[in-house]
Structure 1
């Protein structure tokens, strides 16, 4: 009986003792997290860092690669003069800073950038690159290996705009821009404006590399060139058509616009449509919407790729005297004439591009959807099968009147 009472007293005393809580462990975890995660692990003053805003890739002798980096170097303060001393490269004036274009060659992009880091006495930071330019010679010899090495750098963003330039990319980075002191910032904004307004396709590093690596579709890119009479001496010169990662040809406007339509990019433009009525003349149409659809029709042994374009436009200028645009029959004739002309133009450029062996329209990709057996075959089998398919263009035009002011 006494033993039972002693056991009961011990149990009651144990219940009265304060329970152990994991407060100490939680405090240790919080302290460790604050030490590891708190603050910047790679802290460096901005005066000691060169920010790269533009990257240029050119072909060098002996199959090597030439990398040009346009960097902005802050001028520093009185107590911290920064790194505005003499540096190799092309220098341009910046208010409160310095622009320098550094160039190095190597067997790979990584090796060339490593040479630049070793030669510079400041830290080169690639996290703010705004544009990547590829020289035409390098584009024709192949760019996949160089771009893959570039994106392997953890500082490089995948959504950087990419463009091909006529000549050498370094010459575009060393040029003087009209509005901005850095060519990288100006060209980036230029490409963004062209894409946003539908005057150029949206091509960045991620999109380009995806199209190169995916069987059944080939990439395209905007082409920039030197041009007098423009804001910065540079304008959009057309589309660079690739087969795999090699440049095949450059399509100039207006054929480049028709190619964009066939690819599914809604490029806005204006067209002059001749009209033969009581007085010879024509109307000017503003094309504000283009919808492109690709369909494969027919049995497997006689498939046909049909590119169907729905083009919508409005009359913006009237140069045909005596033509009544309120007449339904007249508008139907204008639509029929526009539809026939556009269909011929788009069909011609589609045949030209496919004649080069390129497939920016994605016919091979659509073929892999309806023929899953191609997934188990090499990539060249998809290209060969897509090349045997005939491509036909269908254009449907809808023209809108603008009201009484056009009469």
Structure 2
């Protein structure tokens, strides 16, 4: 009798589990609006504007129709704005498909942490969404169509992807990297700066330097290339234009050594570059040694200005401070920004020139 009762209880539990399982709280894809790109702009000290761009499916019969629509909403926080935006939408708002987060330049002056915290805590926005600072009219960039017909959000992501439009001067920054560095005293953020181009969707202006969650400076595209080389984020290849010739950098390997001398950080960077000759000046006699010397001169000039900007701001965008973590007391961690300002940094480039061709003259 007791055994029969146990079987009945087990059967009831199984039936209850079956009733409670399933997708009773889900919404069909047809009843969801998928966000392709999200924009955040600080309108005032107490208000933030959120821009959402949704891709729309198209058929062969409605190719003339726009493939996206945009909604903007202000609120006291990002979540407040998103909740208010739901009152405007005929379907459920789904931001889990967001591929790009554009932060207006005003966000960098007021601070990023409060605006991005919701994405990390709620895990609503994919952590691998690309992040960029936008300079210009946010309404115009979100309302204009993509020039090559890519879906909203995908265009921005492909702009930085190494397998698509990404090149070494385009520093690709992901959402999880931005947020992680906000809480790492040894590593500052470097986020690409985009602005709308006259003919294209947007163009890369450089990279914004952050201390904490605020902009303190900017690297130009040449200085950004040095950052990619030193941090070994370099991918694909990049062309360096010079007076005597044009050189393509096809590979790099960097070695960083550090030490602490009388409380002062000492950082040595050795970068080895493999290059190929792609063009020469026909009107000037030259040889391999001269071209290599010109290239090293250019690289050293860009690197000098890059380190001058970052050290002046106390922004260790390279993560050198992580190498000193075990040598410092926990009470000294927050002082790394000041220590980086006084750090002694030396750098040297070793250039190997290949494929010089038969017309190379000595």
Mark yes or no: TM-score above 0.5.
yes
Deviates more, 1:47-56 or 1:184-193: 184-193
2:52 is equivalent to residue 56 of structure 1 = no
CA contact (8 A) 1:74 1:96 kept: no
Distance 1:66 1:283 in 2: 48
Deviations 1:159-184, CA, capped at 9 Å, x for gaps: 11111111243432111111226442
- Cα displacement (A) at 1:197: 4.0
- The one of 69, 77, 89 equivalent to 1:100 is 69
CA contact (8 A) 1:161 1:205 kept: yes
CA contact (8 A) 1:103 1:116 kept: yes
* Equivalent residue number for residue 184 of structure 1: 153
Distance 2:284 2:154 in 1: 50
- Cα displacement (A) at 1:113: 0.8
Alpha carbons of structure 1 residues 66 and 332: separation in structure 2 relative to 1, 3 Å: same
TM-score, L = length of structure 1: 0.77
2:81 is equivalent to residue 112 of structure 1 = yes
* Structure whose alpha-carbon radius of gyration is higher: 1
Deviations 1:305-347, CA, capped at 9 Å, x for gaps: 11222222111112246858xxxxx433432332233223212
Alpha carbons of structure 1 residues 113 and 272: separation in structure 2 relative to 1, 3 Å: closer
Distance 2:227 2:167 in 1: 17
Distance 1:302 1:68 in 2: 46
* Equivalent residue number for residue 111 of structure 2: 142
Distance 1:73 1:345 in 2: 44
* Equivalent residue number for residue 86 of structure 1: none
Alpha carbons of structure 1 residues 321 and 131: separation in structure 2 relative to 1, 3 Å: same
How many pairs align?
355
- Cα displacement (A) at 1:75: 8.6
- Cα displacement (A) at 1:146: 0.6
- Cα displacement (A) at 1:301: 3.6
Structure 2 unaligned blocks of 5 or more: none
2:224 is equivalent to residue 262 of structure 1 = no
Distance 1:272 1:119 in 2: 51
Alpha carbons of structure 1 residues 366 and 404: separation in structure 2 relative to 1, 3 Å: same
Distance 2:207 2:356 in 1: 32
Distance 1:388 1:182 in 2: 47
Cα RMSD (Å)? 3.1
Distance 2:351 2:52 in 1: 47
- What SS is found at the alignment partner of 2:221? coil
* Equivalent residue number for residue 213 of structure 1: 183
- Cα displacement (A) at 1:97: 7.8
Listed as ranges, the matches of 1:193-212 within 5 Å are 193=162, 196-212=166-182
2:36 is equivalent to residue 67 of structure 1 = no
Distance 1:399 1:226 in 2: 37
* Equivalent residue number for residue 42 of structure 1: 25
- What SS is found at the alignment partner of 1:65? strand
Distance 2:304 2:82 in 1: 44
* Equivalent residue number for residue 382 of structure 1: 336
Alpha carbons of structure 1 residues 360 and 195: separation in structure 2 relative to 1, 3 Å: farther
- What SS is found at the alignment partner of 2:80? helix
* Equivalent residue number for residue 334 of structure 1: 291
Distance 2:12 2:296 in 1: 74
- Cα displacement (A) at 1:33: 4.6
Distance 2:169 2:249 in 1: 12
Listed as ranges, the matches of 1:342-361 within 5 Å are 342-361=299-318
- What SS is found at the alignment partner of 2:192? strand
CA contact (8 A) 1:69 1:103 kept: yes
- Cα displacement (A) at 1:94: 7.0
Deviations 1:221-267, CA, capped at 9 Å, x for gaps: 111111224xx331222111111111122322223222332343216
CA contact (8 A) 1:368 1:382 kept: no
Distance 1:308 1:271 in 2: 19
CA contact (8 A) 1:136 1:164 kept: yes
- What SS is found at the alignment partner of 1:242? strand
Structure 1 unaligned blocks of 5 or more: 1-18, 77-92, 275-281, 325-329
Distance 1:186 1:56 in 2: 14
